[in-house]
Amino acid sequence: MRRPLPLAAILALLAAVAAVAFWIRVESDPYRLPGADWRVFKARFVAPDGRVIDTGNGGITHSEGQGYGMLLAEAFRDRRTFDRIWEWTRRNLQTRPDDRLLSWLWKPAADGSGAVADPNNASDGEILVAWALLKAFDRWGDYAYQQAAVEILADVRRLLVVETPNRLALLPGLHGFNKNGQLLLNPSYYVFPAFRSFEKKLPGAGWGALADAGHRLLEEARFGRWSLNPDWVTDVPPLTLKSQFPPDFGYNAIRIPLHVAWEDPASELLGPCAKFWRAFDDLSKMPATVNLETNALSSDPALPGMQAIARFAIAAADGRRLTVRDIPAVDHEEPYYSASLKLLTKVAIREAMGGKN
């Protein structure tokens, strides 16, 4: 005669079945962020003290990279790494005496130390860091994250968002971008999904209006044969490519379709770049930059992370769903910027197309 299983054994069996069922659900989720990607990124680009290292630019650190690191740590639910990156950022970049903005550039020294090399800020750095802090507050409930984000955003709104006769605009930095009302703008600094998040968290602060103004900027700032947005544009008026920077759609502007599709995969603003990229049957042959004055394509191929953005933008413009699995894994030899763009694209796909945070 078979004896009934003890209650403890039944409970253990049920727990095991539930664990297997959970594992199957997780592994079958096409929008799950691959932990292996984050392990590679951390090992290669995040120092033990929380400094995010740009290996493609002499090992420098910039506020943008710290923001990317914080966004990725939050997305991969790695609070320990998030806190290390934020603490390094706070101690080393948020040291300006008159505001809560971040010095944009820190350079290492031969003796292992380092220091701020340019105390001016870069507004995308503040936006990315503040967005990551608000996401961290939502995930982990620590009000210190929220308070730090609000302080940063208050100074961004006070010092970097300006109203001119032409537009409401986001200055790329506090110094050097507004000469007698003629603005030098970087359209890739308009991180639209962050602006929409700020509008929800801080209603009435004008973030939605800035996002709408950014959309209009993209509609107006179309140049060259393919009507692409430039890395930099001067608002004279009219908008012009004349500035101290090359007239390219390139390493800056590649982030524009990422931000647009992240905010709204159905946006018509994706049309021109998607049309341009569709001309390449093999995206590994797409150029890193396009000269918008001469229409010349660079001989340098786009980084894998840039190709990931192109794949996302094309799918969004075509009304097709893309999953995280459709983007290749981060390669162990991949440079910092490419790896960052690739992982950010995966996070954007998860949030914009998978409906998951």
Give the number of domains in the chain. Answer: 1
Instruction: Give me the catalytic one of 124, 126, 248, 263.
Output: 124
pTM, 2 dp: 0.92
Query: Could you give the CA distance from residue 47 to residue 256 in angstroms, rounded to a whole number?
Result: 28
Q: Which distant-in-sequence residues (6+ apart) come within 8 Å of 2 by Cβ?
A: none
pLDDT value at residue 236:
87
- Whether 292 maps to a domain, the answer reads yes
Tens-place pLDDT, residues 2-60: 556 566 655 554 444 444 444 444 457 999 999 999 999 999 999 999 999 999 999 99
Query: Could you give the CA distance from residue 124 to residue 186 in angstroms, rounded to a whole number?
Result: 9
Query: Could you give the CA distance from residue 232 to residue 330 in angstroms, rounded to a whole number?
Result: 29
**Alpha-helix residue ranges (DSSP H) falling in the chain:** 7-27, 35-45, 63-75, 79-92, 123-140, 143-159, 192-201, 207-220, 255-263, 271-278, 304-317, 336-352
- Whether 299 maps to a domain, the answer reads yes
Residue 124 is a catalytic residue: yes
- Whether 15 maps to a domain, the answer reads no
Tens-place pLDDT, residues 161-171: 999 888 999 99
Instruction: Give me the catalytic one of 37, 64, 74, 263.
Output: 64
Q: Which distant-in-sequence residues (6+ apart) come within 8 Å of 141 by Cβ?
A: none
Contact criterion met (CB below 8 Å) for 70 and 87: no
- Whether 9 maps to a domain, the answer reads no
pLDDT value at residue 3:
59
Residue-number span of the structural domain to which 99 is assigned:
32-352
- Whether 202 maps to a domain, the answer reads yes
C-alpha dihedral, 197 to 234 to 313 to 190, nearest 10°: -10
Q: Which parts of the chain sit beneath pLDDT 50?
A: 13-26
- Whether 17 maps to a domain, the answer reads no
Structure tokens at 88: 């390094």
- Whether 23 maps to a domain, the answer reads no
Residue 64 is a catalytic residue: yes
Furthest-apart CA atoms within the chain: distance in Å = 95
Q: Domain of 76: which CATH number?
A: 1.50.10.10
- Whether 6 maps to a domain, the answer reads no
